[in-house]
């Protein structure tokens, strides 16, 4: 089976690229998730310093395009004497980016748990940590599932930026194939299709989850619609 | 210790929210085993007074002593205070992700460090007390409003508090459901629990009150046995009573 | 810079039209929804290449700048459509009936009763979307459209000081995003007097 002059070898190469896209997405989501959890907790901490510092972190990271962060890590660091492999540079840039966005999304989810729940837990003599861990977070997690799944779509799309630092994921493998085929439109159309196949199920799933989240699971306003291009 | 030694004591308590003076020199003493009922118009500061007793609000001036805890102390042990005080709100505030039994055992297990088995036994006991013994494994959203409120009362009771505070716990309920919650509270009062109750149910207030407190404009205007409702001394209480009468017959 | 500006305005108009299309039902809604889903589930980088090479294979030779504007517009319009649709859906049907009873024409109805209030509701989401677009315009450096990232790339290849060049670049983007938020906030105050006076969201 051939599309244009795309043959099975090309397909295998693309598949490999797609696999690296998935791997990079997983790294970004896991790393960014762990770090983002820290960010979210700092954003709702009782310490004013932690709140301020994490707020500044979010502002800085959200104000920097992930592409520029990758340039900085991949081309910039060698300039001051640190060599960084493409996977690390791209992975780190994405982890930091994801942590800031997920941190903000999750902060919204924590704050969406009604205040009286905090108060009721306080009246039962639970410590602040116990209130957070045993009462608030379990409720926040359920609120957080749909927007988090939705955000993972942004992560997958953002991994395409790793191609600019030469990391051979889906978009980059398309460029490489194109260098031998000179049929850019066909090649990129196929690439777009593969991305769509990766992302669309997640988008759909997040929408289903969102619709299902009824009764007490209140959703912070505006989160579902906030998305990175 | 005598029967009369005070569990809750407010002395000349002042509290403002911004420019709004909500408590304007409130004094109140509730003895062990006594039931104090606070009535008054909406906005007269009843909830705020109750919240101050559990230190959910910090007072500006005056003094509050609850079960030996001086709330204005810099070294106040908040969590110890909260173990001695149970509070139930109008909006039940059960934890929706936990079953009724888990709601009830959460605090005893994580705060008082009692074993899970013992906590469950206590849970069974308090659930029986509020007539919900068969609802231990239900989630809050599966219960009616009245059942949720009784579960919330059970959750507070499981901490074996020395005083219980109730803030208009029946205001969100139908008359029928109200009755079942009030019955639980009456049983509780009969069992000798010290209680401070804010309510709009006048006949219930008269029935249950050892001490009835009428608040108006952030002050205690009248206080005495339940029967002061029959013979108001101040025009404010007289007006309030006629208002309530109209509301009840409407 | 102008890149993001032009794309924002064009994308907003196109996206709003598309949102109206999404609600119209029938084939039009189908078409709009396919467009929105296609854009939202593929990376901007790939979209840019598709537009760039797609136009070229049609024999159109446009400057990189025009291509970049086109691609960004197509991209942001899809996100705008989704946001505006959420806004339109949040207008209670009673409002529309009330408007009809007042004898407003269809256009008047759409403008006064639906679009403006919907926009007010989703304004914060729109604003952050446009800030994200500004940041995303960095990707256009990949088809050598002359924007900030491409310039920084030049600078670093001439000075051999990539670290400094990209730090400055990141700083510029951060400043720009803060500025943009401020501008959108002021614009919001100017556009929506109700918000200014009451200080509450609709
Ligand atoms: N956290 C707060 N911040 C600002 N104002 C408050 C706050 N809590 C209460 N108030 C105000 O204090 C006043 C007294 O409130 P409070 O809730 O104590 O009245 P209440 O007697 O319980 O009334 P109700 O019967 O309606 O419950 C009200 O005017 C209320 O608006
Ligand atoms: Mg009240």
What is the predicted pLDDT for the residue at C152? 82
- What pLDDT, in 10s, does the model give residues A73-87? 998 888 788 888 999
Question: Rounded to an integer, what distance in angstroms lies between the CA atom of residue A228 and that of residue A67?
Answer: 13
Q: What CATH code is assigned to A10-224?
A: 1.10.3720.10
Q: The complex's ipTM?
A: 0.89
Q: Is the pLDDT of residue A223 over 60?
A: no
Of chain B, the end-to-end C-alpha distance in Å amounts to: 47
Phi, psi of C141 (to 5 degrees): -60, -25
Q: Is the pLDDT of residue C101 over 80?
A: yes
The structure tokens 């509290």 sit at: B15
Which residue in C47, C144, C71, C53 sits closest to A181, CA to CA? C53
Question: Taking a C-beta distance cutoff of 8 angstroms, is the pair B240, B202 a contact?
Answer: no
C-alpha dihedral sign at A160, A161, A163, A167: negative
What is the predicted pLDDT for the residue at B4? 60
Q: Which of B86, B93, B159 sits opposite A117 (nearest CB)?
A: B93
**Structural domains of chain C in order of their starting residue, each with its CATH number:** 2-198 (1.10.3720.10)
- Per-residue pLDDT averaged across B158-164, rounded? 95
Whether residues C174 and A63 touch (CB distance < 8 A) is answered with: yes
Q: How many domains does chain B have?
A: 1
Q: Is the pLDDT of residue A218 over 60?
A: no
Shortest Cα distance, chain C CAs vs residue A63, angstroms: 4
Question: Taking a C-beta distance cutoff of 8 angstroms, is the pair C166, A75 a contact?
Answer: yes
- Per-residue pLDDT averaged across C78-87, rounded? 92
User: The domain that contains B36 carries what CATH number?
Assistant: 3.40.50.300
SS3 A4: coil
Confidence of residue B249 (pLDDT cuts 50, 70, 90): low
**Which ligand 1 atom is at minimum distance from the Cα of B18?**
4
User: Rounded to whole angstroms, what are the CA distances from B161 to A178, B215, C73?
Assistant: 75, 26, 64
Shortest Cα distance, chain B CAs vs residue A212, angstroms: 16
Question: Rounded to an integer, what distance in angstroms lies between the CA atom of residue B115 and that of residue C7?
Answer: 63
CB < 8 Å & 24+ apart, contacts of C141-144 = C141/A67, C142/A164, C142/C45, C142/C48, C142/C49, C143/C48, C143/C49, C143/C52, C143/C64, C143/C67, C143/C68, C144/C64
Q: Which residue has the higher pLDDT, A215 or A11?
A: A11
Question: Taking a C-beta distance cutoff of 8 angstroms, is the pair C138, C69 a contact?
Answer: no
Atom 26 of ligand 1 has which residue's CA nearest to it? Answer: B42
Whether residues C149 and A71 touch (CB distance < 8 A) is answered with: yes
> Per mean pLDDT, which range of A196-210, A212-226, B126-140, B228-242 is the poorest?
A212-226
Percent above pLDDT 90 for chain A: 66
What is the predicted pLDDT for the residue at A43? 95
Question: Rounded to an integer, what distance in angstroms lies between the CA atom of residue A171 and that of residue A168?
Answer: 8
- What pLDDT, in 10s, does the model give residues C181-198? 999 999 888 888 776 666
User: Residue B205 is part of which domain span?
Assistant: 8-93+163-249
Q: Where are the domains of chain A?
A: 10-224
- Tokens encoding A28: 């970004």
Confidence of residue A4 (pLDDT cuts 50, 70, 90): low
What is the predicted pLDDT for the residue at A58? 95
Confidence of residue C43 (pLDDT cuts 50, 70, 90): very high
- What pLDDT, in 10s, does the model give residues C7-31? 999 999 999 999 988 888 888 899 9
Confidence of residue B190 (pLDDT cuts 50, 70, 90): very high
Q: Is the pLDDT of residue B1 over 50?
A: no
Mean pLDDT, rounded, of chain B? 92
Other Cβ atoms closer than 10 A to C15 = 26
Q: Which of B87, B91, B95 sits opposite A123 (nearest CB)?
A: B87
Alpha helices in chain B (DSSP H): 46-53, 78-84, 100-110, 116-129, 145-157, 175-190, 202-208, 235-249
User: Rounded to whole angstroms, what are the CA distances from A38 to A9, A93, A101, A143?
Assistant: 44, 17, 12, 18
Mean pLDDT, rounded, of chain C? 86
Q: Is the pLDDT of residue A57 over 80?
A: yes
Residue B62 resides in a domain: yes
Eight-state DSSP code of residue B160: -
> Per mean pLDDT, which range of A23-32, A154-163, B101-110, C135-144 is the poorest?
C135-144
Percent above pLDDT 70 for chain B: 97
- What pLDDT, in 10s, does the model give residues A143-160? 999 999 999 999 999 999
Percent above pLDDT 70 for chain C: 96
- What pLDDT, in 10s, does the model give residues A91-129? 999 999 999 999 999 999 999 999 999 999 999 999 999
Question: Rounded to an integer, what distance in angstroms lies between the CA atom of residue C20 and that of residue C23?
Answer: 5
Atom 3 of ligand 1 has which residue's CA nearest to it? Answer: B17
Confidence of residue B167 (pLDDT cuts 50, 70, 90): very high
- Per-residue pLDDT averaged across B156-185, rounded? 93
Question: Taking a C-beta distance cutoff of 8 angstroms, is the pair C75, C41 a contact?
Answer: no
Closest-CA residue of C relative to A73 is C163
Q: Which residue has the higher pLDDT, B177 or A223?
A: B177
Question: Taking a C-beta distance cutoff of 8 angstroms, is the pair B115, B121 a contact?
Answer: no
- What pLDDT, in 10s, does the model give residues B215-237? 999 999 999 998 888 888 899 99
Residue B19 resides in a domain: yes
Judge if the beta carbon of residue B46 lies within 6 A of ligand 1. Answer: yes
Judge if the beta carbon of residue B44 lies within 6 A of ligand 1. Answer: yes
Question: Rounded to an integer, what distance in angstroms lies between the CA atom of residue A190 and that of residue A7?
Answer: 12
User: Rounded to whole angstroms, what are the CA distances from B201 to A203, B101, B207, B231, C26?
Assistant: 52, 29, 10, 17, 57
Question: Rounded to an integer, what distance in angstroms lies between the CA atom of residue B7 and that of residue B210?
Answer: 14
- Tokens encoding B185: 């509270």
Residue B70 resides in a domain: yes
Confidence of residue C161 (pLDDT cuts 50, 70, 90): confident
Instruction: Read off the pTM.
Output: 0.87
- Tokens encoding A181: 């085929």
Whether residues C37 and A200 touch (CB distance < 8 A) is answered with: yes
- Probe site for chain B from A120, A121, A213 (most B CB atoms < 10 A): A120
- Probe site for chain B from A116, A118, A123 (most B CB atoms < 10 A): A123
Q: Is the pLDDT of residue A228 over 50?
A: no
- Give the ligand at the shortest distance from the Cα of B89: 2
- Tokens encoding C10: 């064009």
What is the predicted pLDDT for the residue at A216? 42
Shortest Cα distance, chain C CAs vs residue A174, angstroms: 10
Q: Is the pLDDT of residue B140 over 90?
A: yes
User: Rounded to whole angstroms, what are the CA distances from B146 to A31, A83, B57, C172?
Assistant: 46, 66, 27, 59
**Which ligand 1 atom is at minimum distance from the Cα of B46?**
21
């Amino acid at each position: 089976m051939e599309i244009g002059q795309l043959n099975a070898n090309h397909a295998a190469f693309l598949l490999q690229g797609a696999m690296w896209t998935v791997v990079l997405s997983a790294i970004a989501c896991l790393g960014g998730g762990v770090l983002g959890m820290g960010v979210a907790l700092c954003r709702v901490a009782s310490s004013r310093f932690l709140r301020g510092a994490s707020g500044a972190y979010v502002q800085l990271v959200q104000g920097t395009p992930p592409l520029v962060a990758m340039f900085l890590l991949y081309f910039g660091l060698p300039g001051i004497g640190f060599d960084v492999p493409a996977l690390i540079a791209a992975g780190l840039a994405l982890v930091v980016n994801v942590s800031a966005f997920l941190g903000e999304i999750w902060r919204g989810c924590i704050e969406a748990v009604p205040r009286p729940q905090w108060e009721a837990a306080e009246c039962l003599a639970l410590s602040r940590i116990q209130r957070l861990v045993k009462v608030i977070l379990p409720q926040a997690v359920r609120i957080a599932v749909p927007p988090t799944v939705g955000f993972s779509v942004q992560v997958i799309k953002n991994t395409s930026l790793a191609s600019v630092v030469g990391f051979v994921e889906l978009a980059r493998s398309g460029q490489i194939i194109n260098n031998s085929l000179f049929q850019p439109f066909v090649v990129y159309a196929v690439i777009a299709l593969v991305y769509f196949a990766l992302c669309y199920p997640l988008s759909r799933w997040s929408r289903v989850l969102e619709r299902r989240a009824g009764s007490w699971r209140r959703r912070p306003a505006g989160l579902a619609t906030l998305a990175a291009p | 210790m005598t029967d009369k030694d005070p569990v809750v004591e407010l002395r000349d308590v002042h509290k403002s929210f911004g420019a709004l003076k909500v408590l304007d020199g409130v004094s109140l003493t509730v003895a062990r085993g006594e039931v104090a009922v606070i009535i008054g118009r909406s906005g007269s500061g009843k909830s705020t007074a109750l919240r101050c007793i559990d230190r959910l609000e910090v007072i500006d001036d005056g003094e509050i002593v609850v079960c030996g805890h001086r709330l204005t102390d810099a070294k106040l042990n908040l969590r110890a205070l909260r173990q001695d005080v149970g509070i139930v709100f109008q909006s039940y505030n059960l934890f929706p992700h936990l079953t009724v039994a888990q709601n009830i055992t959460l605090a005893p297990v994580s705060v008082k460090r009692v074993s899970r088995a013992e906590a469950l036994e206590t849970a069974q006991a308090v659930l029986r007390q509020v007539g919900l013994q068969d609802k231990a494994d239900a989630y809050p959203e599966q219960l009616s409003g009245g059942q949720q409120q009784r579960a919330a009362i059970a959750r507070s009771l499981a901490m074996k508090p020395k005083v219980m505070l109730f803030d208009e716990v029946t205001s969100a309920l139908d008359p029928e459901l109200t009755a079942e919650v009030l019955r639980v509270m009456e049983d509780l009062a009969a069992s000798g629990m010290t209680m401070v109750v804010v309510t709009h149910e006048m006949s219930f207030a008269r029935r249950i009150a050892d001490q009835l407190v009428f608040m108006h404009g952030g002050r205690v205007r009248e206080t005495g046995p339940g029967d002061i409702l029959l013979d108001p001394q101040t025009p404010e209480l007289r007006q309030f009573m006629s208002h309530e009468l109209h509301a009840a017959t409407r | 810079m102008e890149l993001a500006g032009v794309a924002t305005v064009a994308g907003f108009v196109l996206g709003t039209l598309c949102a109206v299309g999404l609600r119209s039902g029938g084939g039009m809604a189908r078409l709009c929804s396919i467009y929105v889903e296609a854009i939202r589930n593929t990376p901007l980088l790939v979209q840019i290449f598709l537009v760039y090479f797609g136009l070229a294979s049609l024999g159109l030779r446009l400057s990189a700048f025009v291509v970049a504007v086109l691609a960004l517009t197509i991209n942001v319009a899809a996100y705008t459509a989704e946001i505006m649709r959420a806004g339109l859906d949040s207008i209670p049907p009673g409002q529309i009936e009330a408007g009809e009873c007042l004898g407003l024409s269809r256009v008047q109805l759409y403008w006064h009763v639906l679009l403006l209030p919907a926009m007010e509701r989703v304004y914060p989401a729109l604003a952050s979307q446009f800030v994200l677009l500004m940041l995303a315009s960095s990707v256009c450096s990949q088809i050598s459209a002359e924007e900030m990232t491409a310039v920084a790339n030049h600078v670093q290849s001439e000075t051999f000081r990539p670290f400094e060049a990209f730090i400055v670049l990141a700083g510029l983007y951060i400043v720009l995003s803060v500025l943009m938020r401020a501008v959108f906030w002021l614009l919001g105050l100017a556009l929506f007097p109700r918000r200014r006076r009451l200080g509450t969201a609709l």
